Amino acid sequence: MRTRLRTLLVVVLLVASSAATANATAAGASGVDRGSASASATAPATDTPAPAQADDATDSNRSIGYVDGYRYDTAIDVDQSDGLSDAEIRAYVRRTMARVERLRGHDFETPVPVNVMSRDAYRANRSNAPTNATYARWNQQVWEAALIVGDETNLSSATSSYYSNSVQGFYSPSDDAIEIIVPSGKRAYIDRATLAHELTHALQDQTYDLGAAKYGGETQDAQLATSGLIEGEARYVQRQYTRRCTNGTWRCVATPSSDDSSSDSLASTDPSPPQSLQYTLYFPYASGPGYVNELIERGGWAAVDAAWRDPPTTTSEVIHGDAPAVTDVAVDRDAATNGWRTYPSVGVNGTDTLGEASIFMGLWWQSARYDAGVVPTDIRADDGYRTFRYAAPASAGWAGDAVLPYRNGDADGFVWKTAWETETDAGDFAAGYVAALKAHGATREDGVWIVSGDDGYRGAYRVVHANETVTVVNGPDVAAVNDIRPSLAGSESSPGTSGGSSPGFGLLAGALALLGALLVVLVRRR
């Protein structure tokens, strides 16, 4: 997940409910698009002024909450049941802009164009996007190192398919405009929560400049972290907007029912991409609103403004609320022999950083899908702002990492070095990683774990725990592992137990369903 793959769109994604499953279908950070889940609309088709009630902002700045002739409480006559006229779109968009200003306390500099696009047209646009085979191969190894996907999943294809079916709307900073995606063949309509969310992104861009380098991030972890601020604030405002619509503070425009409508529960009827990919991409929308809410509780919107000046650079900060002391993890790029080469023109000199959220999600997937028993399989949270918890002892205490993919002809491999705050933290992670390999039937040979099955994780893995670090070396066989990192040849892989308690958790029945029960994950931050 890198900026070279991202199309610099800030998106809202479709989320469909299901009684049987709870797969994430909202996504979009690191290396691809940014996104969020939006709530379905239930208000009357036309609106009239709501009774005067207390609201967030004061009237000290009367331009806030007033846009191009529309106040946040101006009555508008908009009926979406037969589609939207140009006049209705103008009134609907400008009043929503005024309401976003009212909630956020910033002024729009200029009106924001809002257009409507069919899903077929959006899919066609995505299918015509250029691809980078070198980047795709490198990125595949990054995700496989974390065990989020195996080689049976084509990461590029799965991600492209996911967005083609899920995007509900997007804001393009390069065009300063919003596109709303509607079902093909349907009349134009705009979901009110989607509109508020995307207008928040437009306000962010006009206030802070979303194209600034500090909001991009050079690594997977940094991109997920900055997206936690960007999408977290947009979803926070979206929720405040929706709350005022449903409690009668504001009269709001209804969204017609549709096969493309969404709810705030996460589900997917499509078995591809895997849940692990979906939940990783969903991180900014699951944890970001909680991060923003905690900032507001500590210091109001001024604290959020301060975060924009100095955005989070690690998912650990978004998860726990405080920035970890990060170790600069160095990996030798010239150590491999017998034809194994890195990708020096991709990533940060060929490396990427996964970070705590991605590490957690890989271990969660191995527990939920393959019964590894490393982290809880039900990670749902319901504190009003965080949808899922991305923390457990096997991933807490992260202090840095660097993954360096390799290639040799058609063969692939990697070196992944992680740093931890304590030796116990490192041991917990090493034990969890080995437990995941054992869930695929791994056996030890010459100090290397060998997975011989055909479920996507076949290969050889050396897992070396040394003090506060853990190094994983992967290749197709033991000889490749030794060639990729000769200095570790002969080192004994971790046996899969830590110095403290076992990282395992009892598996819940129906692990893949994530059915409803709230489980508070104990998070250790040192």
pLDDT digits (tens, 9 = 90+) for 179-222: 998 887 667 889 999 999 999 999 999 999 999 999 999 999 99
Of the pLDDT bands very low, low, confident and very high (cuts 50, 70, 90), residue 330 is: very high
Q: What is the pLDDT of residues 91-137, one digit of tens each?
A: 999 999 999 999 999 999 999 999 988 888 888 888 777 779 999 99
Residue 391 pLDDT greater than 70, yes or no = yes
* pLDDT for residue 493: 79
DSSP reduced 3-state for 370: helix
* pLDDT for residue 498: 53
| pTM reported for the whole predicted model | 0.84
Q: Which residue has the tokens 């905690």?
A: 294
Q: What is the pLDDT of residues 211-249, one digit of tens each?
A: 999 999 999 999 999 999 999 999 999 999 999 999 999
126-140, 308-322, 342-356: range with lowest mean pLDDT: 126-140
d(CA 121, CA 116): 10
Say if residue 376 is preceded by a cis peptide, omega within 30 of 0.
no
Residue 24 pLDDT greater than 50, yes or no = no
Residue 499 pLDDT greater than 90, yes or no = no
Please, what is the Cα angle at 148 between 510 and 353, to 5 degrees? 145
Average pLDDT over residues 407-431: 98
* pLDDT for residue 461: 98
Q: What is the mean pLDDT of the chain?
A: 83
Q: How many residues does the chain have?
A: 526
DSSP 258-285: -TT---SS---S---S-HHHHHHHTHHH
Residue 370 pLDDT greater than 60, yes or no = yes
With a pLDDT cut of 90, the percent of the chain lying above it is 68
Average pLDDT over residues 306-312: 98
Average pLDDT over residues 362-370: 98
393-418 CB burial, b ≥16 within 10 A, e <16: bbbbbbbbbbbbbbbbeeebbbbbbb
Q: What are phi and psi of 25, to 5 degrees?
A: -130, 15
Residue 289 pLDDT greater than 80, yes or no = yes
d(CA 313, CA 227): 10
DSSP conformational letter for 81: G
Q: Tell which residue, 65, 4, 145, has the closest CA to residue 437.
A: 145
Q: Tell which residue, 9, 267, 43, has the closest CA to residue 129.
A: 9
Of the pLDDT bands very low, low, confident and very high (cuts 50, 70, 90), residue 497 is: low
Of the pLDDT bands very low, low, confident and very high (cuts 50, 70, 90), residue 500 is: very low
Q: Tell which residue, 485, 484, 475, has the closest CA to residue 450.
A: 475
The amino acid present at 150, given as its one-letter code, is: G
78-92, 120-134, 313-327, 341-355: range with lowest mean pLDDT: 120-134
